[in-house]
A = this chain, B = another copy of it.
Amino acid sequence: MNYQLILDELFPPIKNAAIIGEVASYIPELAHVRPEKFGVHLCCLQGGDYFIGDHSERFSIQSISKVLSLAMAFKIEGESIWKRVGVEPSGNPFNSLIQLEYENGKPRNPLINSGALVICDILISHLDNPLEELLSFIRKISGQSSITINEKVAASEKAFGHRNAALINLMKSFGNIENDIDQVLDFYFYQCAIEMSCLELARTMLLFSNRGKILSSGEEMLTSSQTKRLNAIMQSCGFYDEAGEFTYRVGLPGKSGVGGGIVAIHPGEYSVAVWSPPLNPKGNSARGMRFLEDLTTKTGLSIF
């Protein structure tokens, strides 16, 4: 499969079409990103990097970080994390309190805000410096040692983070948060503020196509079984209340962020990262969704 040819063919029509959707504006730092930014990077397990557009420019990965902190927590604690968070799609917006209240403070899954807060709480209970360890984990997998936080974004997340504060206080009232609320929120806001490029994200996510091993070194970061299960969770829960739509149209496990990034994995084949800031009404990158749908249609490859 000549992926570069496919990228070169699929990219321009989307790039040239009118931009639909709105750049996330709940914090000023995200609102200032230029909407025409658009990049793709695909890493093939057989070897080979394929890319186009703004693939090497860093952006705020936001909720894509949830997959990475989940992977760390799952590696450390294993199946017992499911006592505190589920694996079911929420069928609701990413920051809904309703389900959380009905279900007594146990989040539906670790890829919505409430679940990611529980994962942060778990990591804080296990690690002295969870943020530094998370960054090390990502730098190691991606092979990119300069990946870091945007402090202004982190501060802005905190300043406008009342909805997340509501979620964590509700979970605390149900006894599902062990550590200090402000400490958990801080870690959460910092992880959302990690900046990576499509190149860096695709390299990182290649781990999930490769049964948990770093391709270059062969080092096993996750077991094959853990990797499959994380992929399954991305498939079920990676796109908030558009998870079914993404599964239907793209047919790959993946995760989106409000910064406009989407990552997706074809187990045994490739990983891919797309970035285009304008979001559709469900909060997922409009061009990113479109590009990935075209990609799996064109290649005829999906997991289904």
Contacts and interface: CB of A to CB of B under 8 A. Distances in A.
B253 A232 contact: no
Interface of A: 86-92, 96-99, 101-102, 108-109, 162-163, 165-167, 169-170, 172-173, 181, 224-225, 227-229, 231-233, 235-237, 241-245, 247-248, 251, 253, 267, 297, 300, 302-304
B98 A102 contact: yes
Given A87-B248, A253-B304, A97 B242 contact: no
Contacts of A163: 169-170, 173
Given A86-B244, A98-B98, A170-B166, A228 B302 contact: yes
A253 B170 CA distance: 32
A86 B282 CA distance: 14
A92 B102 CA distance: 12
Nearest to A233: B248
B172 A169 contact: no
Contact of A244 (B88, B102, B302): B88
B89 A236 contact: yes
Contacts of A237: 244
Contacts of A247: 87, 232-233, 235-236
Given A267-B304, A303-B303, 20 more contacts: A88-B91, A91-B99, A96-B101, A97-B98, A97-B166, A98-B98, A162-B170, A166-B167, A166-B169, A225-B297, A227-B304, A228-B251, A228-B302, A232-B247, A232-B248, A232-B251, A232-B304, A233-B247, A235-B247, A267-B303
Question: Interface of chain A, helix or strand or loop or mixed?
Answer: helix
A302 B302 CA distance: 13
A286 B304 CA distance: 25
Contacts of A242: 88
A88 B228 contact: no
22 contacts: A87-B248, A88-B245, A89-B89, A89-B91, A91-B99, A96-B101, A98-B101, A162-B173, A163-B170, A165-B165, A166-B167, A166-B170, A166-B173, A224-B300, A225-B297, A227-B304, A228-B304, A231-B304, A232-B248, A232-B304, A236-B236, A237-B244
Contacts of A227: 304
3 closest Cβ pairs, A-B complex:
A91-B91, A88-B244, A166-B169
A229 B249 CA distance: 7
Contacts of A89: 88-89, 91, 236, 243-244
A33 to B, nearest CB: 22
B248 A236 contact: yes
Contact of A233 (B166, B244, B253, B302): B244
